[in-house]
Structure 1
């Protein structure tokens, strides 16, 4: 059960957390209310700006009514001059223009059209066509943009939105704002009625008789909002709904993308129209930036509460922990002593506790078995009395080793009662004894006699093996020298009879050709061809033997440049071949330049030979980077290829997979390539399909950075 101290600590934690949370909540609500009040004030400013802009529009329109008051009806040119003087587009970018809508009865429409045509204004085409009691055609609209010109003659009483605003202006004699007009390019229109004689009659009937038309200002709602508010309120989301038009959405801007912190709604009534404006504030981090600081205050308060709880909890547990630690230390000491006694008694390695004078205070049964004495006879005896060699070997300056922790290891000759001396591995470690005990060290004794003897036998066997390896190496070297001498002797001894065969057969053909029939001449040609073939095989034997004797001279070799030179030589020897060659630039390796030239000559020469007769023949020499950073080079062609089942025969001397009638050769090119690769410590492999080409992959372990001046063959 928890004690009073733990309950007090828990009460401190709960009380401090409640206090911190209440203080944080109060401060947060206060900051949010202040931020919301600031946001509402901003929305009031926005509404005021929108109202003020509409007032400007009304003033511009009423200026047009003053023009009608000064004359019966201005001409289109006078109206255009007046609108140009206002500089409407520069001062009011959202306004599409300033115009005049006439109020015409059905009986007066023809007179208006005749007057319009005779005055030189052109044809007045009132749209939409049809018989109506009243018409409100657009007569003037400046400036003359394409949309404004197209609006001339449009009967605004035919559209419900504009007809409602026109009728309201006629009934009240005041300026009226329309809803969105479907038949017109602009969004909204502001209408100001124009009466004859400039004064507004008092009664609706009198206004009906005195009505001349309306000066109107069409404007784009989106631009109107942007111009009115500017960029100062770009972070505030705004939606405008026309409540008189079925709660229709007129304008919407998102403001920020994040969730707004506050919402506010205002109803705006102007010129007989009611708009509902809905505002969205920026997110809480922007609208109420001080709230984030309160989160830091909350975290700090909670940390302080936890610290208070930790202090109270620590004080409450101090007494209990002291008791638990004391009990645990007692139990640990008992178990440690028990483990030590068990390890001493049951260990297979001999152990002895030594005092400061080197006498054995306690020994285990394993040590008694190793030295062949009883435990009673060992206790109190000097540990040095068990060995035949001098005690200096136990010191750090003796023949043993000592590490940084003071552990000393040494091998000594152990004296055994009634037996020959044995080898013992000693490990001396300093250990503290209990209070009142004079124990300074622990010595472990391990009988390693059999191990030492086995090591001696291994050393002797190694020496024997080394002598055998040296003897076999000499024998192999002598055999290689004899084989090289034999190959050289055979090749030179065979040349003399070959030259005789070749010479006498040539003499027979030259002198006695007419005396022989066709069969005899054919035999002589075969003899000469066989002799030539034998000479070439002898040269091949000498070439293979030289590859094994030549000394490697390692240097950086530009393989790309070397391959280009080999291809150039092949083209010079066979100028009629049409063949595409692709050589990757920048390939380089470390090796013997002569041998690597031989390697590329054989691989590229084979590709050149086995693509003969192939349409669109191709040879490619490149490299691929392998996992681990190694580079594998390859030579690929689309020639005759070979069956993959016979790939192992490719690299054997004098082994051929194609007849001499198909492709000439001696069968030692790829054998030479393999020997060169292996002398450089690399590997070679081949892949092919009969009639589809072959690719040879090889590695040269010591590669270098790619060369920068290699060129590409084509």
Structure 2
């Protein structure tokens, strides 16, 4: 047992070590836990090394199988891609055999082939060559996704111009016509390859293409070509579908991302070339030496680890032969990590088990260490607190050091020492806290505060006063306040200021100019002298977040009035413009229609079949133009006519519309079911137009449907607003194009199938919007369409 002098020396030793930062021996708890953790690390490391060596061999076969499966899936996708191009040519072949092939029919044949071309987004070109003059037409998909139609005259003696058409929403539109540059596809390799191939067609090796459209960069690609012959063996046409090298690599890039792999395609032959790889641009590259080692592997498939691009990878390769005998070598590769995935999973499982065991051991160790180390740590903390208390901090109360007799006696001695130090520090801390609180309140408030003695000299000046008046505390202390605080007229009236009761408002001059201040005066006695403390808040800015707001509101009202008047004038001008355009367009249309009718009635017998066909087209186009003008005027009126809201019987309106449709087409047999009691709030004239368009569409698109059926019903209420449904079992449409359905001039069917102007559903949308409702469409090709709509509160 230590003597009291020894206790004192030990305590001083701990305090000195705390003050000087001297390094002490580690605690008992830390030493015990560190030893256990170190043992666990050594054992776990040995176990992981053993598992790694054992598992690396077992996971190699799994890696081989994985890269082989990726190769099989890649080959399957490539065969689908190539077969898709061959099927596209087969679709075009049916079009060509069903159409008399001539220069005049070349564009219509390509337009008929557009659907097949659009279904193959990887294709770059789809072309038709006519053998007589070498006239050539093709569909091109540019790098930006735009679809073009090219017509080359070849050696045609008439109209030797190259024409380019761009696909727009309304169809192909002429973009450019330029003189023929001498291009004759019959002299190109793809034409000769088609003539020399079998009846099934053939794939060609990659070759340089002739690039039209001003692009001077070289471009290579490969083609599937097929020669079409008639029953007598005569050549009808040559068809080609083409992939340029960027398109091929775009397809490969998507596959590589999907399979998390790297893909290469090598075209085999006398000089093997790299045609598929991330680094391949617009033309093939020479075969890298790393891939050249794969050219002569024995057997059907190669699977092994190789170094590619400076990285060790699992590589699988297999030869693939295209129709016509073009050989490819397809190569897939995965990174070959030091630890394969199956081994990683085993390691993770062992790590999880090891971590659980380690955690349990650590918890046990901590428990044991805490039982022995808690009294020692408590003594250490008490000694440290004694040192802090000597520096002015509050000493803690008595804490338990039970567990051992020696530590209990030592703790009691430390407690007696701490109580004496605590009493001395307490009073000093209370004084410091009071001063700190007053200083914080004085200097950190946003209000300017300064104090004056009876002779109006400054005795306090806070930071906010420094900012407001532009004078530092050292500049104004013990000086007359009139030197620092002035009014716009000169010296302040301090008698009036010091006579303030409650709160007053005064105007002063500060660092930023004159300002209005809200002032509060507090007078008290300090050390037998009277002290005046003034608290000022600058209210100038608040009078200004109010004057500006009032001016803004006034200006906003003025602008709203101006814009309202402008919109009213614009609407009136648009109405006048629509009527004027209608009148100006109808006059020439009536002339065209009249003269066309005279030609048809008086001179039809003297015209040949082609001329009569042209005349019929003119009359149909004139009628369509007139219908389009009528629909546009209806659309304009729908948007601008004044609303007259009332309760409308939609069931009655629908029956009237159906009756008109039956009268116009008495030969139609359509089952129509209209639910009774369908009412809505709205403009009866606009709602009739809406039903005429929706029911008219249902009537029109069921014209080719046996047992046609149209239904008009109501759904359950959506709040206070009912919803209605018009459905049919007609032609329907592709839901991919539903976003185009309600746009003006948008048509999802050809004019020859279902005539119309493309304005009806745009008119319906505007009527529904004016009534504050919504409309949605659902359909499936060949199974009908359904339109659901509601009519909310109409606009005023």
Q: TM tier, shorter chain?
A: 0.3 to 0.5
Structure (1 or 2) with the larger CA radius of gyration: 1
TM-score, normalised via structure 1 length? 0.40
TM-score, normalised via structure 2 length? 0.37
